[in-house]
Amino acid sequence: MGLAVTRQTWTNLGVAGLALVAVISSYLAFRAYGTADAPHGTVRQFVVQATLVRFPDAVVVLGDSIVELSTLPRSLCGHAIVNAGIGGTSTTSELDEMLARALNGHRAAMIILALGTNDAGVGRSKEAFASNYSGLLRRLSTLAARLVVVGIPLAEGDQDRNALINEYNAILPDIAKKGGAEFVPLPAMPPRHTLDSLHLDAAGYEIWDEAILRGAAKVCEPGSSLADDKPG
């Protein structure tokens, strides 16, 4: 009798312990994602993951705050367009690991990579940028049917940053080709195209959006390997 009671007691304690763990986990998740104190990057990762749960076969636009601040269409020829921009990121920010977690075993229809402004901001050499970008493309190739690389917009009035951005843009077509990606150049911007010398204004985004959508339209091409392509 005493042994049976003891076993039942331990069973009850175990169930209670599991319930407590679940409550604590839920609380920590709420603390991480549901408050104004959460780090911005953590919140953005959660938003990207929550969106891709609903649209796993998406065109994912991956990059920094220039991507994050964009207002692209919601879909293109049957594929959702998911904004996976996270402010402050660069080629060393492990964006591939974030996206792999968000996709949770699925493959995106396409990943469009628009990255490099922050690499130039920290003075990353052309050689280091090329190595980092190539490695990132290689890892991203396992997560999508197609890859697209987009050119980097120049800043306004920042000669040092722009000198590096020009070097990056010069090597991006070759990086894209070696990584099995399409390259979409970014046309020249008007003299005034930013809000703060770095982030694009309406005129800048008109050009940037067109370049992104030109790359994304590849997902709609006849004869695509994507079985569920539908006319837009």
pLDDT higher at 228 or 119: 119
In the predicted structure, residue 169 carries a pLDDT above the cut 50: yes
Helix (H, G, I), strand (E, B) or coil at 230: coil
pLDDT band at 221; cut points 50, 70, 90: confident
User: Cβ-count burial of 78 within 10 angstroms (0-12 exposed, 13-18 middle, 19+ buried)?
Assistant: middle
pLDDT band at 125; cut points 50, 70, 90: very high
CB 178 within 8 A of CB 141: no
**Predicted local distance difference test score (pLDDT) of residue 56:** 83
In the predicted structure, residue 88 carries a pLDDT above the cut 50: yes
**Predicted local distance difference test score (pLDDT) of residue 6:** 52
Q: How far apart are CA 188 and CA 28, in angstroms?
A: 46
The region of weakest confidence among 8-22, 40-54, 128-142, 173-187 is 8-22
Q: How far apart are CA 87 and CA 30, in angstroms?
A: 22
CB 86 within 8 A of CB 41: yes
Q: How far apart are CA 58 and CA 42, in angstroms?
A: 21
Q: How far apart are CA 162 and CA 69, in angstroms?
A: 21
Helix and strand totals (H; E) in the chain: 8, 6
Nearest CA-CA partner of 80 in 113, 41, 48: 48
CB 85 within 8 A of CB 69: yes
Tell me the average pLDDT across 20-37.
41
Q: What is the pLDDT of residues 97-116, one digit of tens each?
A: 999 999 999 999 999 999 99
pTM across the whole model: 0.80
Tokens of 187: 């046309």
Nearest CA-CA partner of 171 in 68, 63, 88, 91: 91
9, 51, 166, 217 from 134: Cα distances, Å: 58, 27, 18, 23
**Predicted local distance difference test score (pLDDT) of residue 187:** 93
Nearest CA-CA partner of 232 in 42, 77, 92, 27: 77
Q: How far apart are CA 231 and CA 216, in angstroms?
A: 14
Tokens of 191: 């003299």
Helix (H, G, I), strand (E, B) or coil at 125: coil
In the predicted structure, residue 5 carries a pLDDT above the cut 60: no
**Predicted local distance difference test score (pLDDT) of residue 30:** 38
Tokens of 218: 């590849």
Tell me the average pLDDT across 80-95.
96
